[in-house]
Amino acid sequence: PTTQQSTAGSEDAIYQKMLSEWLIDDPTQLANSTDLDWQTVWDQGWSAAAAAQDAPVVEHTEAGLPVRQPGARLIPGAPDEDVHADPAAEGLPLRDPAAVRASISGHFGGVHAGRSQSRDTGGR
């Protein structure tokens, strides 16, 4: 009987908390609670994305399809135009494609030779 009373008390506390948070009489009371008034740094981006999604179509083709306007639906935080900037301008080494191809071919040749030698010697 004693253990039943102690667990019943803790269950009652959990039940009362659930009632106070979920099953309130006035739903606007919980909606207006200051506990729910929080924002993140991403909320502005989500709002801008929603507005961009609802942007009206200004122009249509002869077949009635909407004409795409590049950049019309970009939101804050989207990649900048200078993402595809010249690598040499940023101090990165400019690699010759032929040199890269030769390097990879040499690596492949070495791997192939190593595997062939391993098969010929029985893995020794």
For 79, left (φ over 0), alpha (ψ -120 to 50), or beta?
beta
pLDDT single digits (tens) 75-97: 766 555 555 566 666 677 888 99
pLDDT single digits (tens) 31-83: 666 666 677 777 877 888 888 888 788 899 999 999 988 877 777 665 555 55
Q: Phi and psi dihedrals of 18, rounded to 5?
A: -65, -45
Find the helix or strand (DSSP H, E) in which 105 lies: helix 97-120
pLDDT category at 104 given cuts 50, 70, 90 is very high
CA distance 112 to 114: 5
Per-residue pLDDT at 106: 95
Q: What sign for the dihedral angle of Cα 83, 88, 91, 97?
A: positive
Domain ranges of the chain: 96-124
